[in-house]
Amino acid sequence: MRAAVLTRAGEIVLEERATPAPGPREVLVEIASVGVCGSDIHYYEHGRIGPFVVNAPLILGHESAGRVAAVGEQVTKHAVGDRVTLEPGVPCGRCEQCRAGRYNLCPDVVFFATPPVDGTFADYAVIHEDFAFTLPDSLSDDVGALMEPLSVGIWACRKAGVSAGDRVLVTGAGPIGLLVMQVALAFGATQVEISDVNETRLALAARTGATRTLVSGRDEPSTADVLIECSGHPAAVAAGIGAVRPAGVAVLVGLGPSETGELPLAKIQTQEIWVTGTFRYANTYPTAIALAANGRVDLEAIITGHYQLDSTEDALKVGREDPGSVKVMVHP
Amino acid sequence: MRAAVLTRAGEIVLEERATPAPGPREVLVEIASVGVCGSDIHYYEHGRIGPFVVNAPLILGHESAGRVAAVGEQVTKHAVGDRVTLEPGVPCGRCEQCRAGRYNLCPDVVFFATPPVDGTFADYAVIHEDFAFTLPDSLSDDVGALMEPLSVGIWACRKAGVSAGDRVLVTGAGPIGLLVMQVALAFGATQVEISDVNETRLALAARTGATRTLVSGRDEPSTADVLIECSGHPAAVAAGIGAVRPAGVAVLVGLGPSETGELPLAKIQTQEIWVTGTFRYANTYPTAIALAANGRVDLEAIITGHYQLDSTEDALKVGREDPGSVKVMVHP
Amino acid sequence: MRAAVLTRAGEIVLEERATPAPGPREVLVEIASVGVCGSDIHYYEHGRIGPFVVNAPLILGHESAGRVAAVGEQVTKHAVGDRVTLEPGVPCGRCEQCRAGRYNLCPDVVFFATPPVDGTFADYAVIHEDFAFTLPDSLSDDVGALMEPLSVGIWACRKAGVSAGDRVLVTGAGPIGLLVMQVALAFGATQVEISDVNETRLALAARTGATRTLVSGRDEPSTADVLIECSGHPAAVAAGIGAVRPAGVAVLVGLGPSETGELPLAKIQTQEIWVTGTFRYANTYPTAIALAANGRVDLEAIITGHYQLDSTEDALKVGREDPGSVKVMVHP
Amino acid sequence: MRAAVLTRAGEIVLEERATPAPGPREVLVEIASVGVCGSDIHYYEHGRIGPFVVNAPLILGHESAGRVAAVGEQVTKHAVGDRVTLEPGVPCGRCEQCRAGRYNLCPDVVFFATPPVDGTFADYAVIHEDFAFTLPDSLSDDVGALMEPLSVGIWACRKAGVSAGDRVLVTGAGPIGLLVMQVALAFGATQVEISDVNETRLALAARTGATRTLVSGRDEPSTADVLIECSGHPAAVAAGIGAVRPAGVAVLVGLGPSETGELPLAKIQTQEIWVTGTFRYANTYPTAIALAANGRVDLEAIITGHYQLDSTEDALKVGREDPGSVKVMVHP
């Protein structure tokens, strides 16, 4: 099979690899669509993300959908031909975190495109059958691939406890912020404001349901029950928490530039604000599929480009070079 | 002022009463629209609901909206002319339940149309300013009045923890069941099935968003994360809980015919189902207004009749006599 | 190895069996102490518990502790000689329930002494290394074995949300009720009342911390925040819920005589009581060991008898025949 | 009556004041014992705490117990002679925060010794009857007064969700830290470590139940499920959060020196730590009394000095001057 391999920072080479064989309870999936994530771009540019270092050739890509091409022994949940979306991290299922239902924090998770585990910018990938979810016919392969970033948004809204009638502030209108915004609406939020410096993205936000868009640093957000911070900018964190009502919640999704950050502690304390962050997601795929299949979110709206597998490097570059780019898809 | 007074079971008389004067922090509201609730009908027919007995003439009606006609001393939140909806129960604010945020369980609550407290089938009513909520211009008086039954639905969905992607079964398609169904959708539920024996009501349910309607006793519900029981029928309770998935929730809203009821205990225990009920609601009015103002629920859709104050008795009778009647409004 | 085998209802035969070999990530444990559970007695007497039917010879026993005698491949958490207590159910780790942290509801769990899975009334047993927990030296083998019923109590108190200063009513002073009572105290409850008809057991309850003991049917319980029902008697369920305060919680641990049961629905609804049940437990063993090791519970106090493996049948009979018997231990 | 009045920063003058008369539903309490709080000392030294500025003579003191000396109209819960402890903040009972059960965040709360509301370093004080709680005979007046700081500890443990078997790290062994530590034990925590630079206080911590004491900056804390930060030192916040396990909770009780503070955001995000603070408490007094009355906490152990009302200024000074001082009491 073909695979787009990160050979070193800044270089993607299309290589021939042996098609993997599915083991017991695993399925082989012919990949049809893969979304490019900011983490893919970061690995491509820097060869690492914090403690995760690419020391050997690595296949990137972890937002993926395709068709089951073969099944391993004991597989009961899928058959050849099933259209599926892939939850990219398979946890151990036994550790303290897994047992508690927090499998996103499993220290032994095997996660696509996280060194040294290969991802899905390739013709095929194998995955445990329980982490392949059947796609309804009404959902395209592209939408199927985007169940992954949609999961990030669902997890953030769950952590924040977003519910009907809530007022939500989303800071940062990148792919994640834009999805969080849609998800907040799908959770019933009736005031969803989103801020960014990129007015093209704000216009997209407005088209996909934002009740108000804010130019960062210029417009003041309204009081919010919940902040979901998706920019990673320290200033956005502080300003965002400033908008949260007493006893509200701030969920930090965007990773910042450094290990530590300045928070408005006096406000957090005297107003009993809850602050937390998210790391991936757990138990979100069925919800993601249900929301997409019922038209509660519009994922096609954020797709701005399509690339063939042999143009994966272009797909990784376009995000930086084109301010109008939001989410680009690679098609093996 | 005029008031439609329940003088004894089965008799409503239009009487002249002194217009009440608003005390400190109270507002006088000129009532424009009042929804007829099943409890009004029950008091009218039987003169009592369980331990609540009508021993003296009583003005019924507690789903109300209107305009502020006068304000008492120290009122700061409303001015004459404000359009408001009235949360009908004013709790003590000091007892153990109130302090814990469960003010719907306050033993000293003063609640419209609950003996001996008069309700709002009258030209005017007074209420504490904090329990009058300003209506946006986009919402009609009728819709404003229906913030009350909508609150019942919001409270049920909150108790059940309904969230995005959930599968909800609503048993009973009376006014409350129909609103619970709409609220569940507004909370993000993507499978909302509703059952009843009345096919006219099921057709209304289908028009207002039910993903499937079920004829009680004939159609099997799908597996649900949440049951919200709105019929009070013992058979519906048992069958409904039977459809709930392991670790799901059953919220019993409809009051049954007797103090006790048979539940499938073995299932509740071995599958760790949570069962509870609702009594009125707390902290729902802002959410109700936000959902209605944002078009997340369609309250006009359930209104089937309008009556003048001097026809209040007809309004109370129509529910029993016309199977097509869902929610009727009285206009003083 | 020797094993006490249930050959048919009412007959236990000591047999020679092949000592099992630990597979990958499994450990072989030389069993030192096994508590007799009501479910063992029920299988012995009736050959079934509800849908679980003993169709082939079965080794009973699932409350067990011992020493690691051999380790399989890839075992990293235990070494030969480690003293361990065994969590008797190993879930699949992949299904919807497992992923959500509710592994006690895993439909594919492999649980000791539940047909057709053999238990631990035997010289040896194998278990996944993650379900063997190291015992501190300060805890005896008997206490180690009782981590299992202690887990039942911990799970019930967690479900009920027992916290400091709570008032707890425990109905039924069998082994589980007595442990629930101690656990409630360890969770900080300051009023813990327990009821039974057996005054010997009530005396034991009083010695181990009950703030008040109640003769069932004679003494009225005080108002409680939480009911934990451990008798399975329908009358105790109804009376117990009657004692729960508004918005309180009732957790039904004891299984009753039939599939359904009569509950005080009007109270559950108008006072918004939460009712649920427990099925086994999840994530309790570390807590159980911590409570025992810190002296927060006294497990030796409930042990009333000791039997050798070849007297397992006597151990199973004594509970019925001796009203003073609470928890008896079998020692292979 | 006599009152110890803060006339300006650094000056307390004993004055004669008119004894207040209890209004409707209020009781007049003859004060027997008042604990000195850090906030009293701060007002005495600086004349302000953040936005709260002492612009006029103010009676300090808000940890108080005494006897009911007179009752106002409509009082039903207390009679003259009742021994009571006073919850010092009376919220409005009507605002959004109060209705939600978060009355500690009520913007209109009337709180003793918070400008311009006088406190209880005086012979008498009046309070709403619902905020006076009857003391059992077994609790001394001093202990009764300490229900207030005990409430701070209970609130912190509730926010943190401390439960049986938890591992808790308390940073700061001042009066609040020492009480939090005892409360954590009463909530069932089995590992409670506490850090400070003051070894006298650590010795007291060890005597009252700490499972380990840590010299700040020298000893490393063990992994904890929960951090309760009671020192306000920025270094303690960061180090404390560093010890929290994935998905653990950090509750910041101690106010720091500035409005903002540096937090380990990368850890909070990738390990999904929850961070919040506490502001006073809500619904804690019944629990506080239950814990003290049942011997679950030892409040006498932290009392290090007693002063008459005319020595209030000495009581306010001793905390700074004597490193062995923990909690001193003033007796009108």
Q: What average pLDDT is seen over chain B?
A: 97
- Residue D226 above 90 pLDDT? yes
Structure confidence at residue B31 (pLDDT): 98
Helix (H) or strand (E) holding C39: helix C38-46
- Residue D75 above 90 pLDDT? yes
Asked if B270 is an interface residue toward chain C (Cβ–Cβ < 8 A), one would say yes
Cβ atoms of residues C35 and C42 within 8 Å:
no
The strand pairing partners of B244, in sequence order, are B224
Structure confidence at residue C110 (pLDDT): 97
Burial class (CB in 10 A: 0-12, 13-18, 19+), C42: middle
Cβ atoms of residues D31 and D132 within 8 Å:
no
Region for D74 from its dihedrals, namely left if φ exceeds 0, alpha if ψ lies in -120 to 50, beta otherwise: left
Average pLDDT of span D125-135? 98
Structure confidence at residue A320 (pLDDT): 80
Distance CA C42, CA A130 (A): 36
Q: Is D152 helix (H, G, I), strand (E, B) or coil?
A: helix
Asked if A263 is an interface residue toward chain D (Cβ–Cβ < 8 A), one would say yes
pLDDT tens for each residue of B195-248: 999 999 999 999 999 999 999 999 999 999 999 999 999 999 999 999 999 999
Burial class (CB in 10 A: 0-12, 13-18, 19+), A18: exposed
- Residue D231: how many CB atoms within 10 A of its CB? 25
Distance CA A89, CA A63 (A): 11
Residues in Cβ contact with C27 at an 8 Å cutoff, skipping those fewer than 6 apart: C68, C70, C71, C72, C75, C78, C84, C126, C127, C128, C129, C132
Structure confidence at residue D42 (pLDDT): 94
- Residue A92: how many CB atoms within 10 A of its CB? 16
pLDDT tens for each residue of A118-171: 999 999 999 999 999 999 999 999 999 999 999 999 999 999 999 999 999 999
Verify whether the Cβ–Cβ distance A269 to D255 is below 8 Å.
Answer: yes
Structure confidence at residue B121 (pLDDT): 98
Distance CA B166, CA A34 (A): 27
Percentage of chain C exceeding pLDDT 90? 97
Nearest-Cα residue of chain C relative to residue B266: C259
Average pLDDT of span A259-275? 96
Disruptive mutation site among A108, A272, A280, A283 for chain D (greatest number of D CBs within 10 Å): A272
Average pLDDT of span A199-223? 97
Structure confidence at residue D51 (pLDDT): 85
Cβ atoms of residues A51 and A9 within 8 Å:
no
CB pairs under 8 A between A and D: 120
Q: Which residue has the tokens 């919940």?
A: A226
As given in the structure block, the two tokens for residue B22 are 């608003």
DSSP codes joined into one string, A204-252: HHHHTT-SEEEETTTSPPPPEEEEEE-S--HHHHHHHHHTEEEEEEEEE
- For β-strands C132-134 and C110-111, DSSP reports them as unpaired
Helix (H) or strand (E) holding B247: strand B244-252
Q: Which residues of A touch B188 (CB under 8 A)?
A: 164, 186-188, 291, 296
Percentage of chain A exceeding pLDDT 90? 97
Burial C205-236 (b: 16+ CB within 10 A, else e): beebbbbbbbebeeeebeebbbbbbbbbbbeb
Q: Which residue has the tokens 């159980």?
A: C288
Verify whether the Cβ–Cβ distance A165 to B191 is below 8 Å.
Answer: no
Percentage of chain A exceeding pLDDT 70? 100
Model confidence, pTM: 0.97
CA distance C168 to chain D (A): 13
Per-residue pLDDT band at B306 (split at 50, 70, 90):
very high
pLDDT tens for each residue of B278-294: 999 999 999 999 999 99
- C311: DSSP letter: G
- Supply the angle between the helices A285-293 and A147-160 in degrees, to the nearest 10: 110
For chain D, give the number of residues.
332
Verify whether the Cβ–Cβ distance D265 to A264 is below 8 Å.
Answer: no
- How many Cα atoms occupy the beta-carbon half-sphere of B247 within 13 Å? 14
Verify whether the Cβ–Cβ distance D99 to B282 is below 8 Å.
Answer: yes
Q: Which amino acid is at B261?
A: G
- Residue B320 above 90 pLDDT? no
- Residue C320 above 90 pLDDT? no
Q: How far is CA A134 from CA A125, A148, A287, A288, C314, in A?
A: 16, 14, 13, 12, 54
Q: Which amino acid is at A48?
A: R
- Residue A51 above 90 pLDDT? no
CA distance B165 to chain A (A): 5
DSSP codes joined into one string, D15-39: EE-PPPPP-TTEEEEEEEEEE--HH
Cβ atoms of residues A68 and A79 within 8 Å:
yes
Disruptive mutation site among A77, A87, A94 for chain C (greatest number of C CBs within 10 Å): A94
Q: Which residues of C touch B258 (CB under 8 A)?
A: 265-266
- Supply the angle between the helices D175-186 and D199-207 in degrees, to the nearest 10: 20
Average pLDDT of span C317-321? 87
Verify whether the Cβ–Cβ distance C291 to D157 is below 8 Å.
Answer: no
pLDDT tens for each residue of B70-128: 999 999 999 999 999 999 999 999 999 999 999 999 999 999 999 999 999 999 999 99
Percentage of chain C exceeding pLDDT 70? 100
Among the partner-chain residues C246, C264, C279, the one whose CB lies closest to the CB of B270 is C279
Structure confidence at residue B109 (pLDDT): 97
Q: Which amino acid is at B185?
A: L
Verify whether the Cβ–Cβ distance D99 to B283 is below 8 Å.
Answer: yes
Per-residue pLDDT band at A251 (split at 50, 70, 90):
very high
Name all chains with 3 or more CB-CB pairs below 8 Å to chain B.
Answer: A, C, D
Nearest-Cα residue of chain B relative to residue D101: B101
Per-residue pLDDT band at B321 (split at 50, 70, 90):
confident
For chain A, give the number of residues.
332
CB pairs under 8 A between B and D: 31
Name all chains with 3 or more CB-CB pairs below 8 Å to chain C.
Answer: A, B, D
Structure confidence at residue A66 (pLDDT): 98
Cβ atoms of residues A160 and A230 within 8 Å:
no
Name all chains with 3 or more CB-CB pairs below 8 Å to chain D.
Answer: A, B, C
pLDDT tens for each residue of D261-306: 999 999 999 999 999 999 999 999 999 999 999 999 999 999 999 9
Scanning C168-227 for CB atoms below 8 A from B yields none
Per-residue pLDDT band at C321 (split at 50, 70, 90):
confident
Verify whether the Cβ–Cβ distance B283 to D94 is below 8 Å.
Answer: no
CB pairs under 8 A between C and D: 59
Structure confidence at residue D319 (pLDDT): 78
Scanning B139-168 for CB atoms below 8 A from C yields 159
Cβ atoms of residues D128 and B94 within 8 Å:
yes
Structure confidence at residue C148 (pLDDT): 98
Per-residue pLDDT band at D206 (split at 50, 70, 90):
very high
Per-residue pLDDT band at C65 (split at 50, 70, 90):
very high
Among the partner-chain residues B105, B258, B270, the one whose CB lies closest to the CB of C271 is B105
Q: How far is CA A122 from CA A2, A276, C133, in A?
A: 6, 35, 43
Name all chains with 3 or more CB-CB pairs below 8 Å to chain A.
Answer: B, C, D
Distance CA D158, CA C34 (A): 37
Distance CA D135, CA D86 (A): 10
Distance CA B126, CA B117 (A): 12
Q: Which residues of D touch A267 (CB under 8 A)?
A: 259
- Residue B50 above 90 pLDDT? no
Distance CA D221, CA D228 (A): 13
- For β-strands D224-229 and A303-308, DSSP reports them as unpaired
Structure confidence at residue B254 (pLDDT): 96
Structure confidence at residue D321 (pLDDT): 86
Residues in Cβ contact with C112 at an 8 Å cutoff, skipping those fewer than 6 apart: C61, C62, C64, C86, C88, C89, C118, C119, C120, C125
